Amino acid sequence: MYKKVEMNVCEECGHYLKMTSSERIELSIDPGTWNPMDEDMVSADPIKFHSRNLIKSVLPLLKKRQG
């Protein structure tokens, strides 16, 4: 459907394609200078949201989508 070209833009229609956070970082910095830290860090719930159960059920799905 879309033809991916440089900068994740479709060459036929000009539509911007999805990018992962890692892809965005790679475009923003010099090659070889990115050293990710705390990649296994997860968000906490310090103010105890009422929808905490919903958040707990949705977070794994979002993490899986992000890769």
Residue corresponding to tokens 């965005």: 24
Q: What values do phi and psi take at 27, rounded to 5?
A: -75, -25
Averaged pLDDT score across all residues of the chain: 76
The answer to whether residue 36 is domain-embedded is no
Residue 38 lies in a domain: no
Give residue 57's domain range.
6-30+43-66
What percentage of the chain carries pLDDT values higher than 90? 0
- Is 62 inside a domain boundary? yes
Q: What's the number of domains the chain is made of? A: 1
- 45 against 34, higher pLDDT: 34
Q: 23 vs 15, 48, 52, 55, CA distance in Å?
A: 17, 33, 30, 26
pLDDT band at 51 (very low <50, low <70, confident <90, very high): low
In a domain, 15, yes or no: yes
Determine, yes or no, domain membership for 35: no
Q: What percent of the chain has pLDDT over 70?
A: 78
pLDDT at 43 over 80: no
pTM recorded for the entire structure: 0.42
